[in-house]
Amino acid sequence: MKRKTLTQFLIEQQRKEEALPAQLRLLIEIVARACKAISHTINKGALGGNLGSLDSENVQGEVQKKLDVLANEFLIDANEWGGHLAAMASEEMDTIHRIPNRYPKGEYLLVYDPIDGSSNIDVDLSVGTIFSVLEAPADASGREIREEDFLQPGTRQVAAGYAIYGPQTLLILTVGTGVYEFTLDREMGSWVLSDERLRVPETSAEFAINMSNQRHWDAPMQRYVDECLAGKTGPRGKDFNMRWTASMVADIHRILKRGGIFMYPWDKRKPDVPGKLRLMYEANPMGFLMEQAGGVATTGYARILDVQPEKLHQRVSVIMGSREEVETVAAYHREA
């Protein structure tokens, strides 16, 4: 097999008519390099002394794992000096991180979830790193970047992806020209193209949701899942299977590869909070990948990528995956 590395792939993208800018190529390579370092640290597990929790909480009130904080630092250290970023933001930082004055600045904004699925770290299940890239607004040049500069809808993303640290370490990437998968070759230390133009099957009979929250959902969600559970003799006329990993990366990765629907809907326990997952560094990058692979991503009422963020750590209701299933859920929301 002729191997194509991430570097080769990105250079080819740079030479295309709709050329990938050189700074964006550099940014993606640096994020991918940080993910390699995160992968090695996760692999060492207890031997590296990096498992377990800290005493600290992040801005969303979650107890931080040692790896949440370490991975966040890896991404800062890798990206700060490169000259391609104006600022970054992450799940594990209260507010934005500006590039220190000792480094040159670039025009991109990086938003990331350093470790997604952190509750799975200590039990050796797949976790990942999710990232999204935006351009700094044109009027931001020559002044300090502000949090408002990040508040752009997902349609403005110029790249997005995730690394998944599972049985294999993979990087899934889109720069708006389809979805590509790279596998980490540990001996060579390089990312090698292993699947391209990923397509989410249009139909599926597999759903992913935390069923323990069922009694808290609203009517359209209750209806959809009840109908899945009713199986072949129910209104949907097919038997469904259920999977829930509690790592969004793992659930979304399965869906990108073999189809299905992922849902983390709003629920009654916190009527004023639109959902659990975060718009800027979970829903938007995954929504961009999903659409680039032919799938659909909605809040139930609106396309996720169209949601105008009002806060950096804003939460959102998430329903995404195979077209037929997501459109069924969206129709139930419209009818309700």
**Binding residue numbers:** 91, 113, 115-119, 210, 276, 282
Residue 117 binds to ligand AHG (criterion: CB under 6 A): yes
| Residue numbers 126-155 binding Mn ion by CB under 5 A | none
What is the rounded distance in angstroms from the CA atom of residue 293 to the CA atom of residue 321? 9
* Residue 246 binding: pick among ligand AHG, Mn ion, none (C-beta 5-8 Å cut-off by kind): ligand AHG
If we measure between CA atoms, which residue out of 300, 280, 294 comes closest to residue 323? 294
| Residue numbers 282-301 binding ligand AHG by CB under 6 A | none
Torsion of CA 78, 159, 305, 229, to 10 degrees: -80
What is the rounded distance in angstroms from the CA atom of residue 214 to the CA atom of residue 27? 41
Residue 113 binds to Mn ion (criterion: CB under 5 A): yes
Q: Tokens representing 297?
A: 């991503």
Question: Shortest Cβ distance from residue 265 to ligand AHG (Å)?
Answer: 11
Residue (91 or 325) nearer to ligand AHG, CB: 91
- Report how far Cα 187 is from the mean position of its chain's Cα atoms: 27
What is the rounded distance in angstroms from the CA atom of residue 15 to the CA atom of residue 329? 41
Applying CB under 6 A, what is the total number of residues that bind ligand AHG?
A: 13
Stretch that binds ligand AHG, among 14-22, 93-101, 234-242, 245-253 (CB under 6 A): 245-253
Question: Shortest Cβ distance from residue 280 to Mn ion (Å)?
Answer: 11
Residue 251 binds to Mn ion (criterion: CB under 5 A): no
Among 20, 96, 170, 248, binds ligand AHG (CB under 6 A): 248
> What is the x/- site pattern for ligand AHG, positions 189-218, by CB under 6 A?
---------------------x--------
* Residue 247 binding: pick among ligand AHG, Mn ion, none (C-beta 5-8 Å cut-off by kind): ligand AHG
What is the rounded distance in angstroms from the CA atom of residue 287 to the CA atom of residue 276? 15
Stretch that binds Mn ion, among 1-9, 55-63, 134-142, 321-329 (CB under 5 A): 55-63
Amino acid code (one letter) for 148: E
Report the binding-site residues for substrate.
116-119, 210, 276
> If you ran DSSP here, which 8-state letter would residue 36 be given?
H
Question: Shortest Cβ distance from residue 96 to Mn ion (Å)?
Answer: 17
Q: Most distant CA pair in the chain: distance in Å?
A: 66
Amino acid code (one letter) for 223: R
Residue (164 or 193) nearer to ligand AHG, CB: 164
Residue 122 binds to Mn ion (criterion: CB under 5 A): no
- Residue pointed to by tokens 């790279």: 182
Residue 267 binds to ligand AHG (criterion: CB under 6 A): no
Among 86, 113, 287, 317, binds ligand AHG (CB under 6 A): 113
- The string of DSSP letters for 134-198 reads EEPPGGGTTS---GGGG---GGG-SEEEEEEESSSEEEEEESSS--EEEEEETTTTEEEEEEES-
* Main-chain dihedrals φ then ψ at residue 183, nearest 5 degrees: -105, 135
Question: Shortest Cβ distance from residue 115 to Mn ion (Å)?
Answer: 5
Q: Tokens representing 170?
A: 């993979």
- CA atoms lying within 13 Å on the CB side of residue 13: 24
What is the rounded distance in angstroms from the CA atom of residue 109 to the CA atom of residue 279? 15
Residue 62 binds to Mn ion (criterion: CB under 5 A): yes
Report CA-CA distances (Å) from 162 to 49, 176, 251: 25, 14, 12
Residue 246 binds to ligand AHG (criterion: CB under 6 A): yes
Residue 255 binds to ligand AHG (criterion: CB under 6 A): no
Question: Shortest Cβ distance from residue 311 to Mn ion (Å)?
Answer: 16
Query: Which residues would be at the binding site for Mn ion (CB under 5 A)?
Result: 62, 91, 113, 115-116
Which residues contact ligand AHG (rule: CB under 6 A)?
62, 91, 113, 116-119, 210, 246-248, 264, 276
